[in-house]
Amino acid sequence: MNTRSPRTAGRLRLMTVLAAAGALMAGFTTTASATPTAGHGKGNVTKVCGTAKAHQARCLAELRTDVHGGKGVRGAAAGMAGAAAALPQGLSPADLRAAYHLPATGGANQTVAIADVGDDAAAEADLAVYRSTYGLPACTTANGCFHKVNQRGAATPLPPDQGWGVEIALDLDMVSAACPQCKILLVEADSASFDDLGASVDEAVALGAGEVSNSYGGDEGGDVLSSAVHYAHPGTAIVASSGDYGYGIPSAPAVFPSVVAVGGTSLTKAANTRGWTESAWSGAGSGCSAWIDKPAWQHDANCPGRMVADVAADADPQTGPAVYGTVDGLTGWGVVGGTSASSPYIAGVIALAGHPQKFADASAFYTDHSGLFDVTSGTNAERMDCGGDYQCNGVAGYDGPTGWGTPNGIGAF
């Protein structure tokens, strides 16, 4: 990977923008999961993970605090007439499948890994409730579909709970929603350090994952560049959330050139031909790298470095998916968003299509994006304005918040 100093000639205007963004972000303190925050103009959102320490990442899940409904429907009852009346709030797997024109089957030979921090002791049991509620096939340790390991690939000992339980539930549910027939590997890192998370990604690949989703991030910079090697695995699709702070400093690992950076949208039902409308989500991370050279396959006009993001899916907690969990502040059904939702969903779509070898990087989307919905409205310039161009606004063609767009079937994957 080529890197460049932030003082490289011709980057002065960019660095002025990024410095201002950094100052804004430094003044925006994330909160622990028990404390609501005015998430992107809304007072009904809690950021699941608190502020990250130096050389550490934070998870990017955002939990709605005003949604506490839906008991779910278990087992065979999920397929019975009238079951929909008991379904929880939030988008269902069927909603997302309809919105993105995805097939109901595929990916049976794929294993999607998610790298998270700490143990969620209820992960398998909570996943069972989610999948049975929506009539998805069981995914358990017993039937060989679900596996949970530590960052060394062993079933024991598992690390202690570190407050990422809602994130883990979201990741498991979104992979399930996108690819119900895929196997799922949960790799639990010892800590949120980039060293431990990177080791978890390496282990996921060693254990045979075709796709690895990383729903976390930290500001790019010299202290995280050494971690890039852990996110470069040709033959495996490494996917990461673009971040939840809107336009500004790009998030690692999404900014690494070997990673598919997943931005976010607001997705709502509509009376149009598609049946849905989609715009750039105000929180979706985007930005122009001051450290990493632009890959040869990326050609946007106003950023001389790596530009984030590449592709997107629903991430707005106001239009987010239903998630089931019983740990770390989620006591049953809730609605959870953030680009922590879009990253595992896109990993699942890649698995559904069954060609992870296409995604040693994101170049495939830049070569042919005809199989994506172009998102042409919305902005993520809440804290920082990009001067009105594509870096922080949904526009025709490529833009920072949504990349080339969202899935329209599996043709682009």
Peptide bond before residue 180 is cis, with ω within 30 degrees of 0:
no
Strands 62-64 and 183-189 turn out to be unpaired
222 burial class (0-12, 13-18, 19+ CB within 10 angstroms)?
Answer: exposed
Query: What tens digit of pLDDT does each residue of 215-238 get?
Result: 999 999 888 889 999 999 999 999
**How far, rounded to the nearest angstrom, does the alpha carbon of residue 173 sit from its chain's CA centroid?**
12
Second-level CATH architecture of 12-407: 3-Layer(aba) Sandwich (3.40)
DSSP state letter for 161: P
**Whole-angstrom distance, CA of residue 36 vs CA of residue 28:** 14
**Whole-angstrom distance, CA of residue 126 vs CA of residue 85:** 21
**H or E stretch covering 218:** strand 216-219
| Farthest CA pair distance, the chain | 65
Peptide bond before residue 157 is cis, with ω within 30 degrees of 0:
yes
**Whole-angstrom distance, CA of residue 175 vs CA of residue 116:** 14
Residue 184, strand partner residues: 112, 146
SS3 65: coil
8 A C-beta contact, residue 310 and residue 298: no
Q: pLDDT value at position 55?
A: 87
DSSP 34-64: TS-EEETTEEEEEESS-PPPTTB-EE--EEE
Query: What tens digit of pLDDT does each residue of 65-80 get?
Result: 998 654 443 333 344 3
DSSP 77-132: GGGSTTGGGGPPSSB-HHHHHHHTT--SS--TT-EEEEEEES--TTHHHHHHHHHH
Residue numbers in the chain where pLDDT is lower than 70: 1-42, 68-86
What residues does each domain of the chain span? 12-407
Q: pLDDT value at position 1?
A: 54
Closest by CA to 218, choosing from 237, 193, 239, 201, is 193
Burial code (b: 16+ CB inside 10 Å, e: under 16) for 332-363 equals bbbbbbbbbbbbbbbbbbbbbbbebebbbbbb
Sheet holding 37-39, edge to edge: 37-39, 42-47, 62-64, 332-337, 322-325
Residue in this structure with the two tokens 């050279």, named with its chain if needed: 293
Terminal alpha carbon distance of the chain: 24
Q: pLDDT value at position 73?
A: 39
